[in-house]
Amino acid sequence: MFSFSISSYLEIIFRSGAVYLFILFAIRFFGKKELSQLSTSDLVLILLISNAVQNAMVGPDSTLGGGIAAALTLFIINYIFKLVMYKNKKATELIEGESEILIYKGKIHFETIAKQKITVDELEAVVREHGVLNSGEVELAVLERDGNISVVSKELKGQTFHKRSKKLHPKFQKANG
């Protein structure tokens, strides 16, 4: 019932590692904006990619052992990457890129948003999601390494709203309520 072949597991480990590196660099190449702002088409793409690369990782071995070997390989590679990035700033910059200033003192950096493939409409929508009426009222907006956009308004310097937040942090409720 269970067949164990070291060479087939080594092949799964190699294939899984190659797929991991390919996906990592593909995401880096296509832009960090995509990481936190998934549209319906982006979600479909991710699901289809995972299905497309499954066979590339396990090859003809569709056993439980093959699947576990592939998953374990992905977890280990991811752990190693996180450890290297934690200890080495240059590796972090190479893998995740750098934060980019999108708005500074109310002025949009058009060259940066074009490079990051963010439209003015998308940027203005993010600004509003952070509770700021328009980009002219923004002290600083930064595209973070993880793809999120942080916004600090001129009026609320030091306070930001994350688009997933439903309410203010308790320390700000007294000041604003």
Sign of the CA dihedral with 163 first, then 166, 171, and 175 last: positive
Can you tell me the distance from the alpha carbon of 63 to that of 159, in angstroms, rounded to the nearest whole number?
Answer: 51
Q: Is the pLDDT of residue 20 over 80?
A: yes
Contact 138, 154 (CB under 8 A): yes
Can you tell me the distance from the alpha carbon of 145 to that of 13, in angstroms, rounded to the nearest whole number?
Answer: 28
In a domain, 1, yes or no: no
Same domain assignment for residues 48 and 31: yes
CATH assignment at residue 122 = 3.30.240.20
Same domain assignment for residues 168 and 129: yes
Q: Which of 96, 116, 140 is the last residue of a domain?
A: 96
pLDDT score, position 87: 93
Same domain assignment for residues 165 and 125: yes
Average pLDDT over the chain, rounded to an integer: 79
Q: Which of 96, 123, 155 is the last residue of a domain?
A: 96
| CA 57 to each of CA 42, 46, 48, 93, 137: distance values in angstroms, whole numbers, following the listed order | 22, 16, 15, 28, 49
Contact 121, 111 (CB under 8 A): no
Same domain assignment for residues 84 and 14: yes
Give the domain extent around 65: 6-96
Domain count of the fold of the chain: 2
pLDDT score, position 124: 92
Can you tell me the distance from the alpha carbon of 58 to that of 69, in angstroms, rounded to the nearest whole number?
Answer: 9
Q: Which of 41, 71, 96 is the last residue of a domain?
A: 96
Q: Is the pLDDT of residue 167 over 50?
A: no
Q: Per-residue pLDDT averaged across 29-58, rounded?
A: 71
3-state secondary structure 41-107: HHHHHHHHHHHHHHHHHHCCCCCHHHHHHHHHHHHHHHHHHHHHHHHCHHHHHHHHCCCEEEEECCE
pLDDT score, position 177: 43
> pLDDT tens across 101-125, in order?
999 999 999 999 998 888 899 899 8
